[in-house]
């Protein structure tokens, strides 16, 4: 028994090299996968670069925004919005009868749409903001085997990674700066 205890380092200076070797080994495995390591906000935003995720979210958000933004307004998108999500929103809002432009040609009365995305556990919290409102909604990704009716499958990665996205909670609407009153 004494021989096995001798193999386990008991002092901190002896543990540090072992932990460094393990850490570098794990990092090396991650970097050799061929895909860039994404962290934080970049990882969350990259989720919206997948059309199979962006399109159903855009369709759902458009349904909610349709009752909140007058169709006479011209909508422009913030430059920070992921391009695939911007294209999906442009298409769905145009289908609903909205005029849509780019932030480059924004004029005084145009409504700027900003999108923020937060990861909450395994869910995505999307917040669409205009000068008058803030609409927040939670979406959940789950394996296609557990998909429900109405879910949209994400087959971009093949059958083994098929996923579906669906609304995980009711929308939360906030008015900004007394938009609905004095």
Structure tokens at 126: 């999307």
The yes-or-no verdict on residue 104 having pLDDT over 80 is: no
Asked if residue 165 lies in contact with residue 53, where contact means CB atoms within 8 angstroms, the answer is yes
- Break the chain into its structural domains and give their ranges: 2-31, 40-175
Average pLDDT, the chain: 73
* Separation in Å, CA 58 to CA 63, 85, 93, 157, 179: 9, 7, 8, 21, 24
- Cβ contacts of 46 within 8 Å, gap of 6 or more: 38, 82
d(CA 106, CA 140) in angstroms, rounded, equals 33
Q: What is the pTM of this model?
A: 0.64
Residues 12-19: contacts with CB under 8 Å, at least 24 apart:
none
What's the pLDDT tens digit per position in 16-70?
454 444 444 443 333 333 333 334 455 566 678 889 889 999 999 999 999 899 9
Least confident of 24-28, 132-136, 162-166, 174-178: 24-28
Average pLDDT of the residues in 80-84: 90
Outline where DSSP puts E strands in 97-162: 99-102, 111-120, 123-129, 133-143, 152-154
pLDDT band at 135 (very low <50, low <70, confident <90, very high): very high
Phi, psi of 75, deg, nearest 5: -100, 140
Residue appearing with tokens 């919290």:
125
Judged against a pLDDT cut of 50, whether residue 160 lies above it is answered with no
């Amino acid at each position: 028994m004494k021989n096995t205890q001798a193999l386990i380092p008991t002092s901190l200076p002896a543990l540090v090299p072992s932990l460094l070797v393990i850490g570098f080994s794990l990092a090396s495995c991650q970097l050799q996968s061929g895909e860039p390591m994404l962290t934080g906000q970049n990882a969350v935003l990259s989720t919206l670069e997948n059309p199979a995720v962006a399109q159903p979210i855009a369709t759902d958000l458009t349904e909610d925004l349709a009752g909140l933004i007058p169709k006479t307004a011209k909508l422009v998108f913030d430059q920070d919005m992921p391009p695939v999500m911007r294209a999906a929103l442009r298409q769905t809002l145009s289908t609903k009868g909205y005029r849509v432009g780019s932030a480059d040609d924004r004029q005084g009365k145009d409504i700027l749409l900003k999108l923020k995305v937060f990861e909450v556990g395994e869910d995505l919290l999307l917040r669409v903001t205009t000068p008058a409102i803030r609409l927040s909604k939670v979406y959940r990704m789950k394996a296609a085997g557990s998909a429900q009716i109405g879910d949209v499958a994400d087959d971009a990665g093949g059958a083994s990674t098929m996923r579906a996205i669906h609304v995980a909670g009711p929308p939360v609407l906030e008015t900004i700066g007394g938009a609905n009153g004095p």
